[in-house]
Structure 1
């Protein structure tokens, strides 16, 4: 990874350091790109610590290079206004030009912490800005909050 601050962002998105995690795919009507969510559980106060590192990484990470499925790439990261959900939330967008035709491969991530859990919602599209449906994010976070109150 070309920028250590960006590695922190990616590690949180990928639930590195979590005690347990599970991912779900959402298939959208009229879209070839699925949405995703990853629910990551952390021990003790480690979720708040991981989220704090994510916030710190988002303050300075703006671009990074790496190697993916189609070879080398450069990603641009842009923070966005976060929804008011859970204990804390952030949202950011990644954009990578495709080598063949320079269309942007864009991803939007909404990351929410609820107690000892961090959930990441991702949407992706090619050539147009993606967005994970806000009502679905809200519903999933409400369910997560309710489940944590019961324990």
Structure 2
């Protein structure tokens, strides 16, 4: 799916300049800031994000596979942080949805990132935990809400056969500081010309400067059920 970290062409810089840009070096670790102004949230870094990743003890019965970052069980993969340079898709109004889960295409610099697949025999959930500047994190969710009205669907950007329908906002769950839930359908044209409709559900939750995004894939023409208990377990760990 597009949101797990896609590449492409036509980069556009949406980041602020100067010190504090996130490094895209694999496995980089940005420590929390010790100079945050009194009353202001400290900058969350890679070590913090790694500490938020769920363990198998916290979600018994599920396997946890690291795509980026480190799990409590020691599974580790290189991290590639967004520098605020996005891979442009068309229409650009759909960009926030393309970039939502674990993507290097975020319009805002990241200071820590973990992407894991949490699965059992019945469902597979991609969980992305991303650290942003305290002022940028609320914009990630605001962009999703604003773009929902103008995004009518898109294709690509690499494989134009990958086509996605209009995002549909759902009632926002009461999680963290704020949350956004929406559905998107991927429309896949098979060799015989038939179109297969694969539904996805996304729940994106912000707590402070950390954004947790959950992606659940359903079966063709069968919407998935959001694993509420898993989401609550993850948000509770970010709150610790």
**TM-score normalized with structure 2 length:** 0.55
Unaligned 5+ runs, structure 2: 1-88
Residue 216 of structure 2 aligns with which residue? Answer: 123
Residue 91 of structure 2 aligns with which residue? Answer: 3
Residue 44 of structure 2 aligns with which residue? Answer: none
SS at match of 1:83: coil
Larger Rg: 2
Contact conserved, 1:106 with 1:124, CA < 8 A, in 2?
yes
Residue 16 of structure 2 aligns with which residue? Answer: none
Distance 1:67 1:44 in 2: 29
Distance 1:142 1:59 in 2: 31
- For these two proteins, the number of residue pairs brought into alignment is 143
| More strand, by proportion | 1
SS at match of 1:92: strand
The answer to which of 60-69 and 134-143 deviates more is: 60-69
* RMSD over equivalenced CA pairs, Å: 1.9
Counterparts in 2 of 1:6-17, with a 5 A limit? 6-15=94-103, 16=106, 17=109
Residue 22 of structure 1 aligns with which residue? Answer: 114
Task: From 123, 133, 136, give the equivalent of 1:43.
Answer: 133
Distance 1:141 1:83 in 2: 12
Unaligned 5+ runs, structure 1: 147-151
Q: Residue by residue, what CA displacement relative to the aligned partner does 1:6-35 show, whole Å, maximum 9, x if unpaired?
A: 11222233352321110111112145xx21
SS at match of 2:162: strand
